[in-house]
Amino acid sequence: MNMEDQALEITKTYLEVVAFRVANQDFCFDLKSVREIRGWTETTILPHAQPYVKGVINLRGSVVPVVDLSERLGLGATDPGPRHVIIITVLGSQTVGLLAELVSDILTVAETDIQPIPDMIDETVRKFISGVLVIEDRMIRKMELSTILGSDIG
Amino acid sequence: MDKDEFRASFFEECEELLEAMHDGFDQMATQKHDEETMHAVFRAVHSIKGGAGAFGLNELVAFAHHFETALDRVRSGKLELDAGLLDLFRHCGDNLTDLVSAARDGDTPVSGTPALRAKLDKVLGADGLAESEPDEPDFEPVTLDFGDLGLSTENTSGLTMLFHAEPGLFVCGSEPAVLFRAMEKLGSFAVEADLSKVPSFDDLDPASCAITWTLTTSDDVSRDDVAMVFEFVEDQCTLDFVSISNTDGPELSDIGISDDLADIPEEFLPSAADLSEPHAGSGPVAAMPGLDDQNEPTASVQESDQVPNKESEAKGNAGGGGTIRVDLEKIDKLINLVGELVIKEAMLAQSISDLGASSESDISVGFESLKSLAGEIQEGVMSIRAQPVKPMFQRMARIVREASAATGKKVRFVTHGEYTEVDKTVVERLVDPLTHMIRNAVDHGLEKGAARAAAGKLPEGTVTLSAAHRSGRVVIDVSDDGGGINRERVRAKAVERGLISASDTLSPPEIDSLLFLPGFSSAEEVSELSGRGVGLDVVRSEIHKLGGRVSIHSDPGEGTTFSISLPLTLAVLEGMVINVAGQTMVVPISAIQETLQPRSTAIHDIGSGGRVVRNRDLLIPVIDVGAFFGFRAEPVDLNPHVLLLIESDDNHRYALVVDEIQDQRQVVIKSLETNYHQVDGIAAATILGDGRIALIIDPDNIVRGSGAKLTGDLNLQMAV
């Protein structure tokens, strides 16, 4: 990573993002929001919660809700298994776990590489993303955490 | 210490001084006071004035000065202390309290000041006015830091000390010359400056003082006197005594820091009474040092009596009187960690039982001792947060006085168990409900003078506030010796308000409980004092939020007692671990009245999907917890389930259907709101032995949440 950093042009602002997969689509968001990534653990169901709130887990003594990203993005509910991951994110004072299929990469991208959302993206996903990155042959959607963890979560 | 810290410690000190002042007034009221009580009150007010002056709190200084002048009159015998004057003093004390809190919080000045000043002026007479122009306070409120005691005996008849000023001394506007001049007034005095350490001009640090002064006094100057002079610059200088005067204090056989401290009255030590232990109120706090020379001899005599036991206390801790000031956050962090410990312990217990280890095996024995250690740590940590209820009780004394003045009823206020310790948060959050209940007791509880006379009671009503620990909880009682609850009137009112129907038969306790219903206010006319739309229902829900319960006991003609029962801490809860629809949940034990097997009880359908269970001649509505939370459809057959009888906020009983009772144990309360939000029917979360989260049920909330379905059941229950 260090070597790579040095090779970067100084004139551009760079961003580190964590890339992950939800319902066979690639997403990413700012690495700074990620506190840790852990495997799936059974959650305790929260009554009267939104369907995409999978429940709460114990994160070293804190009660942290887990959001099923797939369900949240309108891509169908996930049936979580041991291969799934929970990305623990911090937004403001809130800690929330996001359920994803896998975490693929941590990427350093220039902000200028983020392109506007193309028309081909689903209408439901569109409102949660702020742009796309094209890396090799993959299209990675940049997710806006604040819309994911909107007021109906916290 | 920067200025803010000084300020904070000044206000903390004020709290203690005010407490001492109120204590003094209480003693005066009982006639058991002596001269020293008056001195203590005077000193408290005087010290507040001094500190306030240093912080430029002019209004506070002006009032304190007036107040102090009046107190001084009484102290010096020029004025007779009668009930009227004591009453005025108490009001002034209250006003002083207000001024202090206004100064601390930066609020607008207190309105009562001019009126009280006028009253004080009247008491003081014309000459008092002339005298009572606030003098410029010329001192700084801090305590003394005495360094190590030297061994020199060359001057046994006087005191020699080395004085060195820290930069802070100048920052706070003090000036060694002023201190020396003050020393001069004590008796013959010499000062010599040691300039040897003064650096060359280039190396000079203008903020620090390189000069050390050697101060020598004649033998008639005691160390207490010196301590008085340097009292307000304690933290900003070092003062090392290099010889000891034999005329003062006990002979010191062994020279060292602890003896050094032992010779100094405790109140001169830094933060002597901070985080004060219960007993602290009677001793050092009450005897805060005065600054008045004529008063001091009396005080010193008293204080020197305490020296022998102070010595042992001071040994081993160079701090003040064995207490330290700790940031609350640090304690809370510790409490959180202890919470984790309790959880881990439960996890370990589970793993050990899964291993099938016998109870004699090393691992089980080791775990047991670990468990008891963890228990002790938990208790110890919780006790750090515990505070005596005394300051709160003192605030209530004031409420009583105000209520008494507003209603024109004469009230005697009695407190018991004021050193009972309760969690700090609990104490803080109890203030509002208690204020309300105390006002109620005076306003509604006590009869008017004529009615009391007719009932053959003393014209003076009594309101008693008591606190005690009882079976792991704190019980606070507010009682009055008034006429008791007028059940006829309560009942009529409840019917009028549509809370019950006219044909309902209610037992006396049930009628009493009606007072807690929302919107109920029993006073005939809404008085200015209580009955401002805030009813006992608010009191009750406040107490419920603290995990407490409140009940009424009333005897006609004898009086009424409100009992509040509270948990000792808000961090841990005694809970029943239950299963419902495959989920593990926790129900607070405090809510559960009893558990029932549906098999042995009669369950009736009452149409519209509701069910009731018959228990002791009551028909109790049944609520399925699983269905309430949407975990399952309401079960048709309740036989395989368990019923938990709970009593709700409005004193009605409900039966909660759960599947199985697992265990009863202490659980650590974890907030759900930190990362999520409030959930209906859920009070908080906890972490179980397997590391998973279990939700803690809020039974009252469930009852309210399912209220629509149960409307009408209330009357049904009462009609049976």
pLDDT of residue B586: 93
Q: B693 vs A58: CB contact, 8 Å cut-off?
A: yes
Give the Cβ contact number of residue B716 at 10 Å. Answer: 16
Q: B675 vs A58: CB contact, 8 Å cut-off?
A: no
pLDDT of residue A97: 94
Is the whole-model pTM more than 0.80? no
Instruction: Give the C-alpha separation, B102 to B108, whole Å.
Output: 6
- CA angle centred on B514, ends B511 and B518, rounded to 5°: 170
Name the residue among B654, B666, B660 with its Cα closest to residue B700. Answer: B654
Q: Looking at this predicted complex, what is its ipTM?
A: 0.85
- With an 8 Å Cβ cutoff, is A49 touching chain B? yes
Place of tokens 């439960």: B346
Count, residues in chain B: 720
Q: B679 vs A62: CB contact, 8 Å cut-off?
A: no
Helix (H) or strand (E) holding B563: strand B559-567
> B325 phi and psi, to 5 degrees?
-100, 125
Q: B695 vs A93: CB contact, 8 Å cut-off?
A: no
Residues 317-376, chain B: which have Cβ within 8 Å of A?
Answer: 336, 339-340, 343
pLDDT of residue A86: 95
Mutate to test the interface with B, among A40, A58, A59, A153 (most CBs of B within 10 A): A58
Ranges A53-62, A131-140, A141-150, B301-310: which has the least confidence: B301-310
- CA angle centred on B708, ends B707 and B714, rounded to 5°: 60
Instruction: Give the C-alpha separation, A67 to A53, whole Å.
Output: 5
Q: B583 vs A49: CB contact, 8 Å cut-off?
A: no
Give the A:B interface size as CB pairs under 8 Å: 72
Instruction: Give the C-alpha separation, B562 to A29, whole Å.
Output: 57
Contacts of B671 in chain A (CB under 8 A): 63
Identity of the residue in A58, A65, A93 whose CB atom sits nearest the CB atom of B676: A65
Q: What is the DSSP letter of B200?
A: P
Q: Which residue of A has its CA nearest to B337?
A: A61
Contacts of A60 in chain B (CB under 8 A): 340
Q: In what order do the strands lie in the sheet with B642-647?
A: B592-596, B642-647, B653-658, B618-624, B611-615, B603-605
Contacts of A92 in chain B (CB under 8 A): none
**DSSP per position, B449-511:** HHHHHHTT--SSEEEEEEEEEETTEEEEEEEE-S----HHHHHHHHHHTTSS-TT----HHHH
Q: Which residue of B has its CA nearest to A53?
A: B676
Contacts of A58 in chain B (CB under 8 A): 687, 691-693
**DSSP per position, B70-93:** HHHHHHTTSS---HHHHHHHHHHH
The number of C-alpha atoms within 13 Å of B382 and in the hemisphere containing its C-beta is: 22
- Provide the mean pLDDT of chain A: 85
Q: B671 vs A42: CB contact, 8 Å cut-off?
A: no
Written as one letter, the residue type at A82 is P
Nearest C-alpha of chain A: how many angstroms from B662?
A: 17
pLDDT of residue B447: 84
Nearest C-alpha of chain B: how many angstroms from A118?
A: 33
Q: Which residue of A has its CA nearest to B672?
A: A63
Q: Could you tell me if B500 and B718 are in contact, meaning their C-beta atoms sit under 8 angstroms apart?
A: yes
Q: Could you tell me if B46 and B68 are in contact, meaning their C-beta atoms sit under 8 angstroms apart?
A: yes
B250 vs A44, which has greater pLDDT?
A: A44
Q: A154 vs B676: CB contact, 8 Å cut-off?
A: yes
Identity of the residue in B583, B629, B670 whose CB atom sits nearest the CB atom of A63: B670
- CA angle centred on B227, ends B223 and B232, rounded to 5°: 175
Contacts of B338 in chain A (CB under 8 A): none
Per residue, the 3-state secondary structure of B659-707, as one string, reads CEEEEEEEEECECCCCCCCCCCCEEEEEECCCCCEEEEECHHHHHHHCH
- With an 8 Å Cβ cutoff, is B674 touching chain A? yes
pLDDT of residue B519: 65
Contacts of B674 in chain A (CB under 8 A): 62-63, 93-95
Q: A61 vs B336: CB contact, 8 Å cut-off?
A: yes
Q: Assign B497 to helix, strand or coil.
A: coil
Contacts of B343 in chain A (CB under 8 A): 61
Q: A44 vs B685: CB contact, 8 Å cut-off?
A: yes
Nearest C-alpha of chain A: how many angstroms from B622?
A: 19
Nearest C-alpha of chain A: how many angstroms from B340?
A: 6
Written as one letter, the residue type at B201 is F
Mutate to test the interface with B, among A52, A54, A62, A89 (most CBs of B within 10 A): A62
Mutate to test the interface with A, among B337, B676, B687, B706 (most CBs of A within 10 A): B676
Instruction: Give the C-alpha separation, B178 to B182, whole Å.
Output: 6
* Predicted confidence (pLDDT) per residue in B596-619, tens digit: 887 766 777 776 667 888 877 778
* Predicted confidence (pLDDT) per residue in A53-91, tens digit: 999 998 887 899 999 999 988 888 889 989 999 999 998
Contacts of B679 in chain A (CB under 8 A): 46-49
Name the residue among B515, B494, B516 with its Cα closest to residue B505. Answer: B494
Identity of the residue in A44, A58, A95 whose CB atom sits nearest the CB atom of B695: A44
| Helix axis angle, B83-105 to B3-29, nearest 10° | 160
Name the residue among A28, A84, A82, A38 with its Cα closest to residue A64. Answer: A38
pLDDT of residue A7: 59
Give me the mean pLDDT over the A101-113 stretch. Answer: 89
Q: Which stretches in chain B have pLDDT values below 50?
A: 128-156, 244-320, 522-533, 708-720
pLDDT of residue B126: 52
Q: B692 vs A44: CB contact, 8 Å cut-off?
A: yes
Q: What is the DSSP letter of B323?
A: B
Mutate to test the interface with B, among A44, A60, A67 (most CBs of B within 10 A): A44
A116 vs B135, which has greater pLDDT?
A: A116
Written as one letter, the residue type at B402 is E
Q: Assign B593 to helix, strand or coil.
A: strand
- With an 8 Å Cβ cutoff, is B670 touching chain A? yes
- With an 8 Å Cβ cutoff, is A151 touching chain B? no
Q: Which residue of A has its CA nearest to B690?
A: A58
- With an 8 Å Cβ cutoff, is A82 touching chain B? no
Residues 91-150, chain A: which have Cβ within 8 Å of B?
Answer: 93-96
pLDDT of residue B688: 82
Identity of the residue in B674, B680, B681 whose CB atom sits nearest the CB atom of A62: B674
Query: Quick check: A98 pLDDT over 90?
Result: yes
Express as a percent the part of chain A with pLDDT over 90: 39
Instruction: Give the C-alpha separation, B633 to B614, whole Å.
Output: 23
Place of tokens 């080395």: B162
- With an 8 Å Cβ cutoff, is A42 touching chain B? yes
Give the Cβ contact number of residue A79 at 10 Å. Answer: 8
Give me the mean pLDDT over the A28-45 stretch. Answer: 92
Q: What is the DSSP letter of B203?
A: G
Helix (H) or strand (E) holding B436: helix B424-440
* β-pair type (B618-624, B603-605): unpaired
Q: A46 vs B679: CB contact, 8 Å cut-off?
A: yes
Burial class (CB in 10 A: 0-12, 13-18, 19+), B519: exposed
Residues 454-493, chain B: which have Cβ within 8 Å of A?
Answer: none
Task: Show Cβ contacts of residue B157 under 8 Å, excluding neighbours closer than 6 positions.
Answer: B218, B219, B245, B246
Secondary structure E strands in B89-206: 160-165, 189-194
Contacts of A153 in chain B (CB under 8 A): 676-677
Q: B693 vs A63: CB contact, 8 Å cut-off?
A: yes
Q: A42 vs B680: CB contact, 8 Å cut-off?
A: no
pLDDT of residue B650: 60
